[in-house]
Amino acid sequence: MPAFDGASNVYARTVGDVALAGAALIAAFTALLLVLRLGHQLRRRRRDALTATWQAMLIRSLGSPDEPLPPLPRRFAADVLCTWIYLRECLRGEVTERLDAVARRAGFDDLARHMARSRGRWRRLVGIAALGYLRERAAWDELRLIAHSRHPVESLAAARALVHIDIEQGLAAVMPLIASRADWPPSRVAALLQDAGPDAMVEPLTRAAAEAAPASPDRAAQLVRYMVLAPSALVAPHVRALVAGTHDAGLIRACLHVLSNADDADVVRPFLAHPDWPVRSEAARTIGRLGTAADVPVLTSLLGDTAWWVRYRAAQAIASLPAIGARELRGIAAGHPNPFARDMIAHVMAERQIA
């Protein structure tokens, strides 16, 4: 085996080459860093100035629709479009129409279509979002295709754009995806449904939940959770039907969480004795909202439940019921044989006094 004993040694040469290559790379990366930093600074300065100008102009144009618009520099077009989307999301009502008109006059519709097809993902995402806000019906098919793509962020952005273009048709197109795609984050789906508005979502959402319930109750449960965004009176009949037709604990919990009419208390009460503690806990919580003083005895018995959350929700429910004050709560605690129940009453009483 050769030893490491001379400059002519093959290993020494290899190591020397590595050291040289390392030094060259350090020099190259350092230079790159400096060039990138300089370029970034210059670009940022120009971009900030330009977007500030456009922002001011867009705001002015809300008052005077004939405000002249300068040509859009291609290089910063995506940044200007971002500024427009930001403003569009901040505003509500009639004024958004004026903002859309200005955008069309500035050529943002063509730009958005072009960007939605670009290779860079962030440009594509901005383009998709803009197409939605501009209600570009011509891009419908393209957006539908993207909504079915595998990439969750892109597909969800396209689904949202479809809803922006046409609420009814958009919801019809995306609801099957909402029901089936586990990779769409619930918080983002909820934002999409909020954009559609509470009334528009009821019919497609309840239908999708009813269709999903027999085969995939977990998906149905997720759809039911979105129903808190809809008017409770409209969703309640559907939720009652769902809860009556299932034995799935997750779906029952989701349904109980949504029910908010006093009439629904009778639907909820049987679940106070459900074998799964999360269902008992949710039922106790719902009874706290919908129940009456007549529910106190069964809730009091739940104060001795083995599950902490059931005891907690039962105590909270009792404290929320009408005609239950500190004196009644102290009475319930004093008469309860279970020390955990007494502790829980004390806990909730202190919590309420503080809150």
Partner 1 sequence: MTLRDVVAGSGWVFLAYFLALQVCYLSLLVLAAMKLRRELEDATLDRFPRMRSGFEQPVTIVVPAYNEMANIAASLRSLLQLEYPAYEIIVVNDGSTDATLETLIREFALVPFPEAYRLRLPIKPIRGVYRAPAHPNLRVLDKENGGKADALNAGINAARYPLFCSLDADSILQRDSLDRIVKPFLDDPTVIAAGGTVRPANGCRVQGGFLTQTGLPRDPLALLQVVEYMRSFLFGRLGWSQINGMLVISGAFGVFHKETVVAAGGYRTNTIGEDMELVVRLHRLQREAGRRYRIVQVPEATCWTEVPESVDVLRSQRVRWQRGLGDSLTMNASLFAGRSGGAPGWIAMPVTMLFEWIGPAVEVVGYAFAAVAIVMGWFSTHFALLLLAAAFGLGVLLSVVTVLLDDVAFHVYRSWKDLFLLLGASVVENLGYRQMNAWWRLCGLMKRARGSKERWGVMARRAVLHSAD
Please give the residue ranges that form the binding site for partner 1 (CB under 8 A).
1-7, 9, 11-12, 15-16, 18-19, 21-23, 25-26, 29-30, 32-34, 36-37, 40, 82, 85-86, 89-90, 120-122, 125-126, 129, 152-153, 157, 182-183, 185-191, 194-195, 225, 308, 311-312, 340, 343-344, 346-347, 350-351, 354-355
Encoded tokens for 46: 């120009």
Q: Measured from the CB of residue 151, what is the shortest distance to partner 1 in angstroms?
A: 9
SS3 string of 246-286? CCCHHHHHHHHHHCCCHHHHHHHHHHHHCCCHHHHHHHHHH
Task: State the minimum distance, in angstroms, from the CB of residue 109 to partner 1.
Answer: 19
Burial of 320 by CB count in 10 Å (0-12 exposed, 13-18 middle, 19+ buried)? middle
Task: Please answer whether residues 69 and 105 qualify as being in contact, where contact means their C-beta atoms are separated by less than 8 angstroms.
Answer: yes
By the 10 Å C-beta count (0-12 exposed, 13-18 middle, 19+ buried), 289 is classed as middle
Q: Give the whole-angstrom CA distance, residue 130 versus residue 194.
A: 18
| Residue 22 vs 231, nearer CB to partner 1 | 22
Shortest approach of partner 1 to residue 322 CB, angstroms?
23
Between residues 267 and 303, which has the closer beta carbon with respect to partner 1?
303
Nearer to partner 1, 6 or 270 (CB): 6
What is the DSSP-derived secondary structure letter of residue 9? S
The minimum distance between CB 15 and partner 1, in angstroms, equals 5
Least distance in angstroms from the C-beta of 290 to partner 1: 21
Single out the residue of 305, 301, 347, 345 nearest to residue 324, CA to CA.
Answer: 345
How far is residue 154's CA from residue 164's CA, in Å, rounded to a whole number? 15
Q: Between residues 28 and 273, which has the closer beta carbon with respect to partner 1?
A: 28
Nearer to partner 1, 98 or 188 (CB): 188
d(CA 175, CA 192) in angstroms, rounded, equals: 11
Smallest distance, partner 1 to C-beta of residue 177, A: 16
Of the pair 86, 294, the CB lying nearest partner 1 is at 86
